[in-house]
Amino acid sequence: MGEFIDSFIGFNQITTVLIGAFVICFVGYLIGKISIKGVQLGTAGVFLAALVFGYLYTLPVLEDLPVLGRFFVADPSASSTVVSYKFLESVGLVLFVSSVGFIAGPGFFRDLKKNIKSYVPIAAIMIGIASVLAFAFSLVPGIGSSYGTGILSGALTSTPAFSAAKQVASNEGLVCLGNAVAYPFGVIGVVLFVQLVPKLMKVDMAKERSLIKVTEGETEAKERKESKKPLVIVDSYGIFAFGVALVLGMLLGAVKIPITGKGFDGSCFSLGNTGGVLIAALLLGHFGKIGRISFKIPDTTLKVFREFGLVMFLIGAGVQGGVQLVSQINASEYGIMLVVYGFLAGIVMTISPLFVGFLFAKKFCKLPLLNNLGSLTGGETSTPALGMLISVSGTEDVAASYASTYPIALVLIVIASNLIGTLIV
């Protein structure tokens, strides 16, 4: 009977990935709704479900089971299916950051001008602390810079830092292991932080929202004066604007700037798809038009794309993380204790910048709570944490603070990864 079912039900690779993604979706949202004293994982529950799903790909026994074997190993090599989840991650990430850019755009330069003396130091302090910890960890006998920078990139969930670390690493496998070990807590830790702080402080969220509310009166008056002729709306849903932002952003993100070595033979810095798309969307969202062509996007579209993009990103990153974590541990010749040390070091590299950054923003920069937390999510380059903060705060205005610190943190962590990898063998 099992053989009959197995031969009757067959999935091609695309169907396998789609079914897997939506299974992860509804299981992850159920996990995210579990509340412990009012604290939830929220959308990060999708990431947890995806990690488990990715782990299942590493179980050879599934290949011999009817139906399940066909589902998990639709292709002779499971890795080709996992690559498809990488595609979901990439699509989800650019959709999310472009949504954030369009949301933050109208108030971005006003907020940045007002708080630039705060956002730059916050990002620098957070990345500086994490980098010093990574440097110290790398000096421990038997650790080295390859594992240390891998832990750093995972603790701050930074793909550009991960790529930079691999470029200068003496052992690329250890970079991958470090990233896989630290990444799960790097996601979940910041998500929990932005929920726990308002609860512990017992803040009045309505009052906090009023402190960062974007004032649109002056901007609207200016638009009415300049827009004597009606703007051309290419499509009512804003898909056209997304398309332009994504293309321009990915072109910008592909530009490489040499950091070490001669020309482009050494390590290079680039904004990548994430940073490039964010900047392009911020600019289009701020100006709202090019000539007479409108780039205004309905709020409904922005909210849907933001959530959908975040979920696709978490699914792709989680499945790959589950597969990579197991495979790298199995391939490691250094034993389980190296993994334990890396996991603990990752927790410290995730949490320490958050606490110091929060206190600095509160005591010295005098930022309102939501501006404070928004800047922390950007300083940790944490996409899932921003999604949770928007949900917790009840306003998307926090995206402006994220967008203000994110580019600074992005540049600094890539430079730090290169320096650590170059200075320590």
Strand 257-258 versus strand 268-269 pairing type: antiparallel
Three-state DSSP class for residue 230: coil
Digitized pLDDT (tens) for each residue of the chain, 425 residues in all = 334 334 444 556 777 788 888 889 989 889 888 877 777 778 778 888 888 888 777 665 455 544 444 444 444 345 566 677 888 888 888 898 888 888 878 877 777 777 788 888 999 999 999 999 999 999 988 888 888 998 998 899 887 777 677 777 777 778 878 888 898 899 889 999 999 999 899 888 888 888 876 434 444 544 445 556 678 888 888 899 999 999 999 998 888 777 665 555 556 667 777 778 888 998 898 888 888 888 888 988 888 898 898 889 888 878 877 777 776 666 656 667 888 888 999 999 999 999 999 999 999 988 999 999 999 999 998 878 888 899 889 888 888 888 888 888 887 887 888 888 777 76
pLDDT at 126: 95
- Using alpha carbons, select from 371, 376, 249, 239 the residue that is nearest to residue 308: 239
pLDDT at 60: 56
Could you tell me how many residues make up the chain? 425
Q: Cα 236 to the chain's mean position, in Å?
A: 29
Q: Which pTM was predicted?
A: 0.74
In angstroms, the CA 139 to CA 145 distance is 8
3-state helix, strand, coil in the chain (%, to 5): 75, 5, 20
In angstroms, the CA 32 to CA 290 distance is 40
Euclidean distance between the first and the last CA atom of the chain, given in angstroms as a whole number: 57
DSSP E strands, 5-121? none
Q: Cα 299 to the chain's mean position, in Å?
A: 22
Task: Please count the other Cβ atoms lying within 10 Å of the Cβ belonging to residue 76.
Answer: 8
Domain ranges, ordered by start, for the chain: 2-200+230-423
In angstroms, the CA 339 to CA 358 distance is 29
Pick the CATH number of 2-200+230-423 from 1.20.1530, 3.40.50, 3.30.70, 2.40.128: 1.20.1530
pLDDT at 332: 59
CA quadruple 238, 244, 245, 247: dihedral sign? positive
- Using alpha carbons, select from 152, 81, 33, 2 the residue that is nearest to residue 315: 81
In angstroms, the CA 75 to CA 198 distance is 47
pLDDT at 372: 93
Three-state DSSP class for residue 258: strand
